[in-house]
């Protein structure tokens, strides 16, 4: 039995004209990095979330690294990371010079548990928590997990 994880066929069929047009604009311009398509995306995304600016990056590793840099996380800092998370989370922490501190997730949600088990709350020397989910979805980020 073949069970597809993600069937993009119906989505592509619905958005075919728009996606094909965007693809051809990029390919015809020769600008695969940066350029007007990225600038348009950044402007439209910032407006859609009510932000003054948005920055498009190549991947989640770069996004996490930029967030840590913006928070001033660096050498000497510890960042709580889920032990079951993707390696990019740990690499982003290391890239800014901080130390990743692995914590077991909540067994029901597979997320860090901001108010539950407390095993990472006993050591208050950490600078940040990185609430990520292994499936790429949104992790719970209560006030005490930011």
Q: Are strands 78-82 and 99-103 parallel, antiparallel or unpaired?
A: parallel
Give the pLDDT confidence score for residue 86 in this predicted structure.
81
Q: What per-residue confidence (pLDDT) applies to 99?
A: 92
- Distance of alpha carbon 141 from alpha carbon 111, whole angstroms: 10
Residues 6+ positions from 112 with CB-CB distance below 8 Å = 80, 82, 103, 105, 106, 120, 129, 131, 139, 140, 145
pLDDT average per 10 residues of sequence, the chain (146 residues)? 86 96 92 88 96 92 92 91 84 94 81 59 54 55 48
Assign domain 60-145 one CATH number from 3.40.640.10, 3.30.360.10, 3.40.50.300, 1.10.287.3510: 3.40.640.10
- Among candidates 33, 97, 92, which has minimal Cα distance to 65? 92
Domain locations in the chain? 9-49, 60-145
pLDDT at 132: 58
Separation CA 61–CA 75 (nearest Å): 18
* CA separation for the pair 136, 133 (Å, rounded): 5
Quote the pTM value. 0.67
């Amino acid at each position: 039995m073949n069970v597809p994880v993600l069937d993009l066929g119906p989505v592509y069929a619905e958005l075919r004209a728009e996606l094909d047009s965007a693809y051809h604009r990029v390919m015809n311009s020769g600008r695969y990095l940066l350029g007007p398509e990225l600038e348009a995306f950044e402007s439209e995304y910032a407006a859609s979330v009510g932000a003054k600016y948005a920055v498009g990056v190549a991947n989640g590793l770069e996004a996490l690294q930029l967030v840590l840099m913006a928070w001033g996380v660096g050498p000497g800092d510890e960042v709580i990371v889920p032990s079951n998370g993707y390696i990019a989370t740990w690499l982003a922490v290391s890239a800014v010079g901080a130390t990743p501190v692995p914590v077991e997730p909540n067994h029901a949600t597979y997320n860090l548990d901001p108010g539950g088990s407390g095993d990472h709350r006993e050591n208050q020397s950490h600078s940040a928590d990185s609430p990520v989910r292994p499936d790429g979805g949104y992790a719970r980020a209560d006030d005490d997990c930011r």
